[in-house]
Amino acid sequence: MNRWRNIILVIAALLVLAVITPFSSAYVISLITHALIFAILAMSLDLLLGYTGLPSLGQAAYLGVGAYLTAILASEYGFGLDMSFWVVIFLGMALGAASAAVFGLFAVRASGVYFLMITLALGMCVWGLAYRWNSLTGGDNGINLPPRPEFGISLANEVTFFYVVFGFFVFTLGSLYLIVRSPFGRALEGIREREPRMRVLGYNTWLHKYIAYIIAGAFGGLAGVLWAQKNGLVSPEDVILTTSVDALLMVVLGGPGTLIGAAIGAGVVTFIRDYLSTLVHWWQYLLGGVYVLTILYLPGGLIGIPARVRNWRARRSGAQAKT
């Protein structure tokens, strides 16, 4: 029953977002679109971190793979600027999945702090190629994209583009939700809680983790395609270590293992990085403060706050009843 209430809450919130956003200023629409794209990246990471217990320090790599693919296809070959946009979406997800399939061969064997280090190294490999492989990636300058695709609808229109991104956000949320509710997702949670026991029960835990890693890579690639179109510029800045770390913060801040928490976290971090940074020069104190305070005081993330308040009130009223 509680689950249905939560689902209805989420659907209602999404409906409100979809209805209200077009009436906002162009800047706010662009900001929300930005947040939704990073929400897709954060949710893909939540599948690893929140459900499988794999804290990846290199999720930006898949964003980079999708983004560079989109930029190279568009600027070099003029591909993906009409109906073929949908092909690029598919290719971006496929390439994200394929690179995760290669990287996963190395990463998924590791656990704990070694998993952190190896995903960091993999992320740096992608960054190194983006930064140095001038003939392919444009090096430090990155690649500028031509105007956004047009196929009956024009994605150059911020409202139209918002609805397209919103659609992909809902698609990602829905798909990942179905995955984590499936027996496969349950097995992932089992691995998170106690991997040796799952192995004893006959689960191939390596394969489960490997598949989860590939799925996360695919959705990371999707976020990359959308990000390239959103930003109009793809550069090594998109795949630096801090992007990966930000994605981790989004998940932990919102509440790991909830999907929608990751989306909320993405909203908060985007708000600080892209809105507050234009208002106040000391915004990094806020960002750093959010990191530190989340770790020290919000183990369950923002989404855990209502439950904590309920607990606290229940305890207090319980204490009053006794006196």
Partner 1 sequence: MGIQFWLIQAFNGISYGALLFLLASGLSLIFGVMRIVNLSHGSYFLLGGYVALSVIAVTGSWWLALPVAALTIAAVGLVMERVFLRPLGFDPLRQVLLTVGFAFLFQQAALDIWGGDPMTIDPPAVLDGSIVVGGIYLPIYRIFMISTAVLMGLGLWLAMEKTRMGAMVRAAVDDAEMARGVGINTSRVSMFIFALGAFLAALGGAIGGAFFGVYPGLDFEVLPLAFAVVIIGGMGSLAGAAMGSLMVGLADNFGKALFPEVSYFTLYAPMVLILALKPTGLFGRD
Residue 159 interacting with partner 1 (CB under 8 A): no
What does the alpha-carbon distance between residue 195 and residue 97 come to, in Å, rounded to a whole number? 24
Q: For the chain, give the number of residues.
A: 323
**Which CB sits closer to partner 1, 215 or 248?**
248
Residue 133 interacting with partner 1 (CB under 8 A): yes
Residues in Cβ contact with 103 at an 8 Å cutoff, skipping those fewer than 6 apart: 58, 61, 119, 122, 213, 217
Compute the radius of gyration of the chain from its Cα atoms: 20
- Give yes or no for a contact between 61 and 103, defined as CB atoms under 8 angstroms apart: yes
**Which CB sits closer to partner 1, 84 or 277?**
277
Residue 125 interacting with partner 1 (CB under 8 A): yes
| Burial label, 20 (beta-carbon count in 10 A; 0-12, 13-18, 19+) | exposed
Binding piece for partner 1, criterion CB under 8 A, among 129-137, 171-179, 196-204, 217-225: 129-137
Closest approach, Cβ 51 to partner 1, in A, equals 14
- β-partners of residue 154 are 150
Closest approach, Cβ 66 to partner 1, in A, equals 19
Binding piece for partner 1, criterion CB under 8 A, among 16-24, 109-117, 149-157, 312-320: 109-117
What does the alpha-carbon distance between residue 237 and residue 244 come to, in Å, rounded to a whole number? 11
**Which CB sits closer to partner 1, 69 or 81?**
69
150-151 vs 153-154, strand pairing mode: antiparallel
Alpha helices in 108-240 (DSSP H): 113-132, 134-137, 158-181, 183-193, 195-200, 205-231
Give the largest CA-CA distance in the chain: 76
Contacts (CB under 8 A) with partner 1, residues 245-304? 245, 248-249, 252, 282, 284-285, 287-292, 294-296
**Tokens found for residue 38:** 């990073």
Closest approach, Cβ 228 to partner 1, in A, equals 21
Choice from 9, 132, 181, 186 touching partner 1 (CB under 8 A): 132
**Which CB sits closer to partner 1, 117 or 159?**
117
Closest approach, Cβ 247 to partner 1, in A, equals 11
Q: Which residues bind partner 1 (CB under 8 A)?
A: 49, 55, 57, 105-107, 109-110, 112-114, 116-118, 120-122, 124-125, 127-129, 131-135, 240-242, 245, 248-249, 252, 282, 284-285, 287-292, 294-296
